[in-house]
DNA sequence: TGGGGTATCATGGATTTTTATGGGAGTCAA
DNA sequence: TTGACTCCCATAAAAATCCATGATACCCCA
């Protein structure tokens, strides 16, 4: 199955619309979806995005509706409550609700980040910071580890 | 199958009518229903809502589980007795009976909360409190480290 | 190889449709 | 008659849809 790869930054217009990267759209439609499901990441820094199939799988895992049982994870319920299904319009755009953008700090630009079977949406600056941190950590690890002189800094 | 997702707050007018969120309505009608079934949650904080199909499955499951168990049967009886089927009117609204709203503390606003295969109806404030509690708990769990144990104190 | 044409994409704006909400008229029963 | 309820209509706001354009990438053919 095709994977969500690479990082694309797009603009959010005054009406709150953003283009979903064309490649991502084609992957979604390959899977048979014309909408995406968004919900806040647990770390609170990004929005997670997946298709409805993933949500269905999740629900199946936590079990169906049974008012007599208390064992249904409240986390899972919170997830369903925080998630939104967004239709992709005829021009390939979505409108992310303010509840999600505000929490993450997204304003007029956002970054789509491939994660394989799903992707994330970030505000540009925090994403930058995060990437730099990751790279730095990798660099340190490399430096501390072996004498790998193939420098690429 | 489409799932009930996200959280929508709507107003209750003087006549006691509330709009069922459009997305929820379309999911219901997709499943072939034009009414919803309501009954109080056992925790007493919210109203549970589902379609008649879910209700039938539910009662069948409970009834079929153990025909000789008095507890189960009385639970099922209580559920049936407390449940109401509400028609959705031409404008997409329902009128929640006072028996249910008073118990939950709903007055002039209510919140529809998706739960996947069903949804709930809350008074705004208790729902807020609940969501904050869930988030805080998740935060603590995260901060405590990745040791995923049954404990969540 | 390079240049022109074409398809695709991201973006902006306008227009139409849907939705939530308010209110009124008619109906039925107590 | 009064009160509760149903059906119908009005409207403002929000959402979905449609159309236009500049830019870029892609392809084809001389």
Dist CA A23 CA A20 (whole Å): 8
Residue B70's pLDDT is 56
**Token pair for residue A45?**
């820094």
* Cβ separation B58–A81 shorter than 8 A: no
Return the SS3 of A109. Answer: strand
Nucleotides of C under 7 A from a protein CB: 8-14, 18-24
How confident is the model over A69-111, as pLDDT tens digits? 766 777 888 999 999 999 999 999 999 999 999 999 999 999 9
**Token pair for residue B55?**
């209700």
How confident is the model over A5-64, as pLDDT tens digits? 999 999 999 999 999 999 999 999 999 999 999 999 978 899 999 999 999 999 998 888
Nucleotides of D under 7 A from a protein CB: 5-10, 15-20
Residue A106's pLDDT is 96
Q: Distance in angstroms, CA of B62 to C1' of C29?
A: 38
Dist CA A87 CA A150 (whole Å): 46
Would you say the C-beta of B14 is within 7 Å of strand D? Answer: no
Residues A55 and B5 sit within 8 Å (Cβ to Cβ): yes
Q: What is the architecture, at CATH level 2, of domain A7-145? A: 3-Layer(aba) Sandwich (3.40)
Give the residue extent of every domain in chain A. Answer: 7-145
Q: Does domain B7-143 have CATH number 3.40.120.10?
A: no
* Closest nucleotide to B20 by C1' from CA: C20
Q: Distance in angstroms, CA of B37 to C1' of D6?
A: 20
User: What angle (nearest 5°) sits at the alpha carbon of residue B83, between those of residues B80 and B88?
Assistant: 140
Give the closest residue to B10 by CA, choosing from B88, B85, B90, B93: B93
Q: Report the run of H or E that residue B50 belongs to, with start and end.
A: strand B47-50
* Cβ separation A55–B7 shorter than 8 A: no
């Amino acid at each position: 199955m095709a994977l969500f790869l690479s990082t694309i930054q797009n603009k959010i217009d005054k009406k709150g619309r953003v283009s979903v990267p064309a490649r991502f759209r084609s992957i979604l439609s390959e899977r048979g979806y014309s909408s995406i499901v968004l919900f806040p990441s647990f770390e609170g820094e990004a929005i997670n995005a997946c298709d409805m199939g993933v949500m269905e799988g999740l629900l199946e895992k936590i079990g169906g509706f049974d008012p007599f049982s208390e064992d249904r994870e409240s986390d899972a319920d919170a997830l369903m409550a925080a998630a939104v299904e967004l239709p992709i319009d005829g021009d390939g755009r979505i409108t992310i609700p303010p509840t999600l953008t505000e929490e993450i700090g997204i304003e007029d630009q956002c970054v789509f980040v491939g994660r394989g079977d799903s992707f994330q949406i970030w505000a540009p600056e925090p994403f930058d910071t995060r990437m730099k941190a990751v790279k730095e950590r990798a660099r340190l690890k490399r430096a501390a580890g072996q004498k790998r002189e193939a420098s690429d800094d």
